[in-house]
Structure 1
Amino acid sequence: MFKNLIPKIFYDRLEDGLEFFVDGLGFEVQYRDANMAVIARDGAKAYLVESPEYAAKDRPELGIDTDDVDAVYRELSARAPQLLHPNSSKVALKPWGSREFAMLDKTTVCVNFRQWPDRA
């Protein structure tokens, strides 16, 4: 019954969120007004909201599951190498079993891209 969990990410300036998600990660804007944008790519979606008050309180870490983390890494590291997280700038196997890397914006919003092993 549940289909998607869609996060709301707060920014001091909406443009900072659009710069990261649209310019850096390749999301597309599906809706935009003065204080909010709905962005999407493939099956991932988020709401970016301009709110200095809430942005000061929360800098989230998000995860996006993928079926080809190596292809995502090749694309994003070529598109925006400056956004690679300094502590997770290469695809690596993590102790919990996923292969992942991360991107980090200038406001410290972090997006982890991960691929889980196929379950037989």
Structure 2
Amino acid sequence: MTGLFRTLIPKVFYADLTVGRDLFVDGLGFEVLHDDGDFVIVARDGCKLYLVEDAEFAAKDRPELAIETDDIDAVYADIAGRRPDLLHPTYPAGGGIIRREYGAREFAVLDATTTGVVFRDWS
């Protein structure tokens, strides 16, 4: 049987959407598909997010998202070369890519509001 679910699309709230645009568009290279000022849809390589300006919800939760990749070295090199300021300062300590006890290789980025994105490679 073919699955009925296709894509999970998280909604990330920001008090100021310029922070979300900085992380996802300028930092991670997502393309803006829709922007009406307080609601932005961004996508890249099959990943999609809704960025919503809502200070009340942003104050309640700063999410950690994960993106799986088959070439973590290329993703890391791209982000470290263009936007090293986004690399998570303590994940892993000293920077770079870490192999986790469960087998995945990972690194993370963090925006000014502490929304985090973990990049994970299972190969």
TM-score by length of 2: 0.92
Structure 2 residues not aligned, in runs of 5+ = none
Q: Secondary structure at the match of 1:38?
A: strand
* Matched residue count: 117
- Deviations along 1:22-54, whole A, 9 cap, x unmatched? 111111100000211000011111000000000
Q: CA deviation at 1:99?
A: 0.2
The residue number in structure 2 matching 1:98 is 104
Q: Secondary structure at the match of 1:39?
A: strand
Q: 2:113 aligns with which of 83, 107, 112?
A: 107
Percent identical residues: 55
Give me the whole-angstrom Cα distance separating, in 1, the residues matched to 2:120 and 2:63: 16
Matched, 1:31 2:34: yes
- Give me the CA root mean square deviation: 0.8
Matched, 1:87 2:84: no
- Deviations along 1:66-93, whole A, 9 cap, x unmatched? 0100000000111100110012231110
Q: Secondary structure at the match of 1:20?
A: helix
Structure 1 residues not aligned, in runs of 5+ = none
Matched, 1:21 2:24: yes
Amino acid at match of 2:99: L
